[in-house]
Amino acid sequence: MKRIVVFASGSGSNAENIIKFFNDTQTAKVTHVLCNNERAKVFERCERLNIEASLIDKDVFSKEDTVLQFLQQEADYIILAGFLWKIPEKIVTAFPKKIINIHPALLPKYGGKGMYGMHIHKAVKENNEVETGITIHFVNENYDEGAIIFQKKTALSEEDTPETIAEKIHLLEQRYFPRVIESVILDTNE
């Protein structure tokens, strides 16, 4: 059974969905959640789900090897579920094609530093897009530029607001993210 460490920064709805999904499989288990925001709701979710969660410091994360060493001992896969920091190159190098991120837009559109959450949904609305969606991709050394694993689209109408776009994206994330993670794990371990 493979071990997953999830990185999160916010409410943790995707982290919780992944934890629950893998609790019912023999493929993998979420063993730990790492978070960069001491006020994030993901800590409450982890406590309720009996999953260890730890706060990480930016300097320790980016300049020291502590997190890398932890991951090398505790993780086969790293899943970014709303994690807002760039992953240091030494971690990317140590886990090739083993770090998976979900992005709330159809990359390469609306990717890059600062493009997350409502920033994306507002930009999608302002540009009168007729569709948007999710992109699940491997993480490389650049924001949102890793190889795309999966994309799913949803149609938009003129009546959509950034808030309704966010709701549509959340439904796609909840439905597809855990299943795509599982398929990657199964494909790489055949």
pLDDT of residue 190: 58
Query: Which one of 2.40.128.280, 3.40.50.170, 3.40.50.2300, 3.60.70.12 gives the CATH number of domain 2-188?
Result: 3.40.50.170
Mean pLDDT of 115-142: 96
Give the sheet arrangement for strand 2-8, strand by strand. 52-55, 28-35, 2-8, 77-80, 99-103, 131-138, 148-155
pLDDT of residue 18: 98
Rounded Cα distance between 117 and 31, Å, is: 26
pTM of the model: 0.95
Domain boundaries of the chain, sorted by first residue: 2-188
Active site residues: 103
Which value, in Å, is the radius of gyration of the alpha carbons in the chain? 16
Could you report the per-residue pLDDT of 52-82, keeping only the tens digit for each?
999 999 999 999 999 999 999 999 999 999 9
Would you state the structure tokens that stand for residue 168, as one six-digit string?
Answer: 């549509």
Mean pLDDT of 181-185: 97
The region that residue 181 occupies, defined by phi over 0 for left and psi between -120 and 50 for alpha, beta otherwise, is alpha
The secondary structure of 5-45 as a DSSP string is EEEE-S--HHHHHHHHHHHT-SSEEEEEEEES-TT-THHHH
Amino acid letter, residue 61: F
